[in-house]
Chains A and B, each alone.
Chain A
């Protein structure tokens, strides 16, 4: 069952000059860990803030557990939010910060004590109960904020890039913590991030946004293997997907992709779910799917190039090379030596190809 249903949500700023959300449609299932991913300024935070009640959409419908929420104040929506900045109040200690939402609601002292101690144990910071919040480490502060959210027992837990200001190690640690919390409590989470690795690791489903629109919603695997368009393909996956511009030529029942005056194919028409109308196409191939052989190897569907740059990260080795106008990157075995200027032959399997038409949409 959908816990959050957003239909045709449009939000603009500066009297319509800036369109932050453009007819956004999203459904989040009960107990799901949903990640909203996109570059800075794509509208993902605006959408999250609309769910919280901190922004008011210009039009659309939003329901939480079947009830319309757009005309409700944030406090009436049964959601809890964790911001990017640390919002623990410096005038209160850890206990008082966590107890604050319950105090506001008029809950009695004994119940407050019971609930606060419960979440302190759950987030593993009971010894920090009476600490000044300014004396907490980054991780402890994050856990205290999570505790403050959990104590509210919300229907929906909203996180607005909560780990983006943390160092890598702490970030990785907090990701594991939030996953554990999700598994233990089953709370529905809407997590906003611009970090695609974070999205892929955390999300059960991911919604990718660009320029105020939702480009695609799917599981990490679906988005990686079947990106809806070039933007999604480029945004997901590390390293970034390679694009090669080409032309589609048809000969009898077979189709050939002409790239840099050489043909790749054939592709049986029956292999294509749809036949593109345009001749211009873009081939997408992920760096780890490119097959690299040393030297010049002749053969069908093989292409020759020269290594431009070798990148050794310590665990992986990548080579950069040009093909026509395209600059490509491939993952290569680290057990071999690779040198700049070295001749290589590259090829790829049909099944690893992702084709896009001239408007950027994927050809199925």
Chain B
């Protein structure tokens, strides 16, 4: 008995540095940002008298059309990029499962290739794709012109720019996601697939009724992970378009950076914007998880 208690205490001591770090690095900055958002701090006027203005910053920023546009872009980028990477990732995972799995060496080789875009990092990928999209030097336009079409302004057309950046993001992440989903497919008993074959289910029926429902938890986890990553799109968009043309590809993190540091110096207002973004993220995540848990308890 004494030994068990001692072990528990030891575990607490060993885990506590990680807990302390999480609190310091995660929770404290949020509390500090929230505190700042209630004041009138502007880094351009450091000598200004500190005054508590309550939720005025929140009201102001919500009413700002540029913030609204940035929020829309963030959500568009995150949802489109996440869904796109999930769908393409699943297609790659299925290909690996059905056609490559019998050849372990080929599987290892392809798995390594699939991870390279993520390992390269968003800045490297951003520069590469910026060049690929280039209207004069880019190979994509070279092929388009060769097919008899005109040049496409992927990054300077405000209607196309965001989608072009999303495509780069999908390209970067779908391989990585494919490996997660492949592991999920491989964890299912082979008999699930065989039973469906003997019963007479087509490929799509097997996916719809058997495979996807049994991998729901994994899909959810991957969706949330990728969504979270997408909200931190600063590096990719900054390099590819800088938020332009105009502010058509500006996301919330880019806008807040400009607001707090590059442009206006309105640190408190930017903090309010960041807290709003945090709250939206928590709400979205909670809703999705609740939805999943509700379905799980339904007995299906």
What residues make up the interface of A, taking CB atoms closer than 8 Å to B?
A: 52-54, 73-75, 79-81, 83-85, 87, 89-93, 96, 100-101, 103-105, 130, 132, 152
Contacts and interface: CB of A to CB of B under 8 A. Distances in A.
A104 B299 contact: no
Nearest to A154: B198
B299 A130 contact: yes
Given A83-B191, A85-B189, A87-B192, A93 B299 contact: yes
Nearest to A79: B198
B214 A87 contact: no
A87 B189 contact: yes
B197 A53 contact: yes
Interface in B102-135: none
A104 B198 contact: no
Interface string B269-295: 000000000000000000000000000
Contacts of B200: 74-75, 101, 104-105
Given A83-B194, A87-B189, A89-B192, A101 B199 contact: yes
Given A74-B200, A89-B214, A90-B214, A104 B205 contact: yes
A181 to B, nearest CB: 19
Nearest to B206: A104
B214 A54 contact: no
A314 B151 CA distance: 91
A105 B197 CA distance: 13
Nearest to A76: B200
B263 interface: no
9 contacts: A80-B198, A80-B199, A81-B195, A83-B191, A87-B191, A89-B209, A89-B214, A101-B200, A105-B200
B182 to A, nearest CB: 20
B300 interface: yes
B52 interface: no
B183 interface: no
Contacts of B299: 93, 130, 132
B29 interface: no
A91 B199 contact: no
Nearest to B189: A85
B213 interface: yes
Nearest to A85: B191
A-B pairs, top 6 by smallest CB distance, nearest first, are A75-B200, A91-B213, A87-B195, A101-B199, A74-B198, A83-B191
B205 A53 contact: no
A81 B197 CA distance: 10
B197 A75 contact: yes
Most chain A CB atoms below 10 A, which of B199, B201, B210, B216: B199
A54 B197 contact: yes
Interface in B178-227: 189, 191-192, 194-195, 197-201, 205, 209-210, 213-214, 216
Contacts of A53: 197-198
A52 B199 CA distance: 10
Given A89-B214, A91-B214, A132-B299, A100 B199 contact: yes
Contacts of B198: 52-54, 74-75, 79-81
A91 B195 contact: no
Given A74-B200, A80-B198, 16 more contacts: A52-B198, A53-B198, A75-B198, A75-B200, A79-B198, A81-B194, A89-B192, A89-B209, A92-B209, A92-B300, A100-B199, A100-B201, A104-B209, A105-B200, A130-B299, A132-B299
Interface string B216-257: 100000000000000000000000000000000000000000
Nearest to B199: A101
A91 B194 contact: no
Contacts of B214: 89-91
Nearest to B300: A91
B210 A89 contact: yes
Contacts of B213: 89, 91-92
Contacts of B210: 89, 91
A93 to B, nearest CB: 6
Contacts of B201: 75, 100, 104
B177 to A, nearest CB: 21
A236 B205 CA distance: 44
Contacts of A52: 198
A31 B91 CA distance: 44
Nearest to B194: A54
A74 B192 CA distance: 14
Interface in B61-116: none
Given A89-B214, A100-B209, A75 B300 contact: no
B270 to A, nearest CB: 45
Contacts of B191: 83-85, 87
A54 B216 CA distance: 27
A135 B216 CA distance: 20
A74 B300 contact: no
Nearest to B296: A91
Most chain A CB atoms below 10 A, which of B197, B200, B205: B200
Contacts of B192: 87, 89
B220 to A, nearest CB: 14
Given A54-B194, A83-B194, A85-B191, A93 B199 contact: no
A73 B300 CA distance: 29
Contacts of A80: 198-199
Contacts of A91: 210, 213-214, 216, 300
Contacts of A84: 191
Contacts of B195: 81, 83, 87
A101 B197 CA distance: 10
A115 B96 CA distance: 38
Nearest to B299: A132
A331 B192 CA distance: 46
A93 B194 contact: no
